[in-house]
Each structure stands twice: as structure tokens, then as C-alpha cells.
Amino acid sequence: MQKESIWITGASGKIGKAIMNRLKKQVDYRVVGTDLDVDITDQDAVEQSMDVYRPNIVINCASLSDAYYCEDHMIEAFRVNALGARNLAAACRQHNAKLIHLSTDDVFCGDGSHGKTEFDVPTPRTVYGKSKLAGENFVKELTPKHLIIRSSWVYGGKGDYISSILEKAERGEEITAPLDQISSPTSTEELAHFIEVMLDKKEYGIYHASCEGACTRHEYARTILHLAGYDPNLEHGTYNEKDGAIATTLLENLMLKMTGIYDMPPWREELERYMGKYIKND
Ligand SMILES: NC(=O)c1ccc[n+]([C@@H]2O[C@H](COP(=O)([O-])OP(=O)(O)OC[C@H]3O[C@@H](n4cnc5c(N)ncnc54)[C@H](OP(=O)(O)O)[C@@H]3O)[C@@H](O)[C@H]2O)c1
């Protein structure tokens, strides 16, 4: 049987690395990962890489994902998140490759009391969210064999939210987290597993893939402290949104539920599993 050839961009980022780790163990796949060595904003570099790697599937994890940085660097944010996605989509179309493109709950503006489905109209409020939506639109317009996967509050790997909370606790620093931001923490490993399941499925379009249930950042931070053996009371809740608003960016995994392809686990259960595996509790 011929091996699937997979090109992962942003392969040393949080999600890219988890997918690499998962797929490189499988004999059925020939996987190549790139980062800034193939700048996705460079159309020629993308086309040359397609010629060299000849992938059946491209997984685009390359992104400018720091929302605060994006707010102050709009051109750079759109160049990577929108033009980069455009370059990959056009190249995938030309080579008849499937494009799996990672996106975010930030394409919604955070005003929802209910979970947003794949059929809700995105109305981003941040530069990051707008640039990611522009990337999604290029993907939809330029290549029919695409899968857009949106997730939220992704943890796992160096520099993630869990590490930042635990480093502060270790140093005895003050820890604060917003009481007025609500979403669903989701692990890179769960996302990587879901993406592996989708590789050989003839499923196209947008899929939401967040862990089930929701919490405030405050509850999330306290749960991390508790699971790592620290006193949860080390963390204090703050209010970050203006005028008493609550920023809720809940994704409803409606496509997953309708197709029955994959069950995302409850966020707390997955966080417990992850922390039990990677974080020492002494
Ligand atoms: N993290 C989350 O909470 C979250 C939630 C929902 C959705 N997502 C989505 O998931 C995807 C991956 O996120 P992540 O958290 O894994 O991001 P990440 O850790 O910041 O990784 C992004 C990777 O892209 C690389 N990159 C940046 N600009 C590039 C360019 N021009 N060409 C090639 N590579 C480039 C980065 O390289 P350098 O580090 O060397 O710059 C980095 O390795 C993104 O689409 C993001 O929107 C993330």
C-alpha cells in the first residue's frame, strides 16, 4: 500500500508538534514538518515545497497565534494568517492535495451565551480573529478539498497556559485569571488524535473541535493548581472585559455530533489525564 505523504507547516508549534509526534509513529504515513525554513508567506517557497514533498495532505499549523502581538502588528498577522493560508490553498488546489487548516474560536466575537456552531456567522473583534477568518475564507474559496478545524484554549507543550501558571506558582508570584472569560480548554494531544482520524475521511468543510463543557479562566487556573498539588487559593479572579461584559467563545462541536466521527472528551477529564501524564504532583 502506498504511504500517505503529509506536510505539516508550523511543525514545532504547540499543535504542529503534537501532530508530528503522533503521526511519525505510524508506518502508514511519510511525514515532513517545516517551520520558518519554509515561510508560508512566500508563494514561491510554498510551491517549491509542494514540488519536492508531493504531499497528499497538507496540515497548516503555521500561524501568528499571539493575539496581543497581532493587535499591534496587523500587517504581519494578516500576512501569515491570511496570505500564508492563501498560498497553501492555491498550491493544494494545483496539486490536488487535501488541506487541513487550523483555525480558532476567535473568529467569533465572544458575545455568545450559547455555543457557536459551524453554521453561525463569524464576527471577529480582534486583529488575530479577523486575520484567521480571512485565512479561512481564502481556503474555502481556493481549494475544494479542505477541512477547517477550529478549536479553543489549546494547551500542551512549552510555553502554554498550564506552564505559565505553574511557573508562577513555583516562583511564588501572584496569579490572577479573569472571571469574565469563558471557553473550553482543549489539549494538543486530543486535537492531534482527532486530526489523525480525519486524515482518510472524505469529510470537508468546517469542524469545531473543542473539549466538551466550559469554564472561566479563573476556574481553569484553579483546576491546574489543584491538579499539580498547589493551593487553588493562590489564584485570584479579575475582571478584564469592559462594562461588565462576559467574553464567551464556546464552540459547539455540531458537525462532530451530527456525523458521529469523533467524541471530544469533557475538558476537566482531559486536563486531569494530561496533567497526570506530564505534570509531577509532589
Ligand atoms: N494555541 C491555542 O490556544 C489555539 C486555539 C485555537 C486555535 N489555534 C490554532 O492552531 C494553530 C496552531 O497554533 P499553535 O498554538 O500551535 O501556535 P504556535 O505554537 O504559535 O505555533 C505556530 C508555528 O507557526 C510557525 N510560523 C509562524 N510564522 C510562520 C511562517 N510565516 N511560515 C512558517 N511557519 C511560521 C511558528 O514558528 P516560530 O515559533 O519559529 O515563529 C510556530 O512554530 C493556529 O492556526 C492557531 O490559530 C490555536
126 within ligand 1 shell (Cβ under 6 A): no
Contact (CB, 8 A) for 15 and 102: yes
Q: Does this model's pTM top 0.85?
A: yes
Q: What is the pLDDT of residues 194-214, one digit of tens each?
A: 999 999 999 999 999 999 999
From 7, 15, 42, 80, the mutation candidate for ligand 1 (largest count of ligand atoms within 8 A of CB) is: 15
Contact (CB, 8 A) for 50 and 143: no
Q: What is the pLDDT of residues 76-108, one digit of tens each?
A: 999 999 999 999 999 999 999 999 999 999 999
Write down the H helix ranges in 199-265.
217-227, 254-259
Q: Does domain 4-157+184-213+248-268 have CATH number 3.40.50.11390?
A: no
13 within ligand 1 shell (Cβ under 6 A): yes
Q: How many CA atoms lie within 13 A of 154 on its CB side?
A: 28
Q: How many angstroms does the Cα of residue 248 sit away from the middle of ligand 1?
A: 22
Provide the percentage of residues in the chain whose pLDDT is more than 70: 96
Q: How many angstroms does the Cα of residue 103 sit away from the middle of ligand 1?
A: 10
Cβ-in-10-Å burial (0-12, 13-18, 19+) of 24 comes to middle
Q: What is the pLDDT of residues 160-195, one digit of tens each?
A: 999 999 999 999 999 999 998 999 999 999 999 999
124 within ligand 1 shell (Cβ under 6 A): no
Rounded to an integer, what distance in angstroms lies between the CA atom of residue 149 and that of residue 185?
15
H helices then E strands: how many in the chain? 11, 13
14 within ligand 1 shell (Cβ under 6 A): yes
Q: How many angstroms does the Cα of residue 15 sit away from the middle of ligand 1?
A: 7
Rounded to an integer, what distance in angstroms lies between the CA atom of residue 62 and that of residue 248?
25
62 within ligand 1 shell (Cβ under 6 A): yes
